[in-house]
Structure 1
Amino acid sequence: MQVNKRTMFFLIPSLLVFLLSGCPLPQRSAEVVSLSDFTEGHSSSSVAKRFQESAPQGPTAVESAIELAKKHAELSEEMVVLRQKNQGLIAENSRFKERLVTLEPKLQQTQKELAEANDLLIEMRIELNNWKMDILGFRAEMRDAEKTQLEALLKILNVLGGEVKPESAGQMRTVSSAADSSELSRPQLQESLTSGKSNE
């Protein structure tokens, strides 16, 4: 009971204040929408949308699965081809390694023989140059000996009273000048031969 008294005590003054303030309540006509109209319009539009074909926005799950299966088949074939190529390259590499093992000692032997042949050629060239110098020196000595013999013969002829023709005297002079020039060219030849040795 006390609860009812309290409620009444609060309710009555609040109603009095509300009425005295003179707040008019808005009076609008309420539009009544029947639930049946709303459900009919909504259901007909949803049914129409349900049976309309929507524009394809992308591949469907089945199409993408088929495409992925094709790609997988292509990639697996390519992998098989690449694996076969790889096995062929591995086999070729092993053959090359075997050949390398057999050819490496032969290469070392050939390099050794070439080095020996090169040393032999250098020695032979040095000996040939020495032989040339000896031959040329011997030729110069022979010319000197012939020149002295000819000069001695001329002196003997002059002592014995023989006549020496000017042509033969000219020839004697050319022989002596040739001998002198050969003596001059001999040091030049020796210099060229020694420079050839130093270049080797």
Structure 2
Amino acid sequence: MKYKNIINLNLGLLLIILTISSGCAEYVLPVRIFPVDLSGMQQNDTPNESMGKRFDEAALSGPTAVESAIELSKKYATLSEETTKLKNENDMLNRENNSIKDQLNNSRAQLTQTQKELEQANDLLIEMRIELNGWKTDIIGFRQEMREADRAQLETLLKLLKILGGEIKNEVAETQNPDPLTISKDDKIIKNIQTQ
């Protein structure tokens, strides 16, 4: 409080001196003068001594402005280095991200091409299977036709033999081939003809 009063008094005097020295005597700023309470000061201290102690106390209480400026500049230097490192790392990650995006786009294009090729191959396999089933039915039908033609030929041979007076034996060829499933009626007739 005492310092505030002294400062206000000094400011008021300074303003008065400035207005007088500048030659503008007509314009006067209103000045408030605050009374100075000297009772709070120690009896043996003069205002000049208290002012000197004020600066001494400030010097003892903390770091000086130069020290704090040096400390702040060191912090700024370390933070700027960290910022540079982080920017470089961010740039590297952005480049890596862009290359991965390019690879992803290429992979997607290859995937769509592969899917198209697989669909075409699947359609081709379905067509081939249909065609194969058609061949199977044709071959099985052809076998049946061949069997019927062989049967008709054998029946004709039997009729010819009967007409010519040949004797037909009804021997069973089961003694030579024990598996009855593999012997057909046509095979028995052929064996009978060969034995005669």
Smaller-chain TM-score range?
A: 0.3 to 0.5
How does the TM-score come out when normalised to structure 2?
Answer: 0.43
How does the TM-score come out when normalised to structure 1?
Answer: 0.43
Specify which structure has the higher proportion of helix.
Answer: 1
- Whichever of the two has the greater Rg, that structure is 1
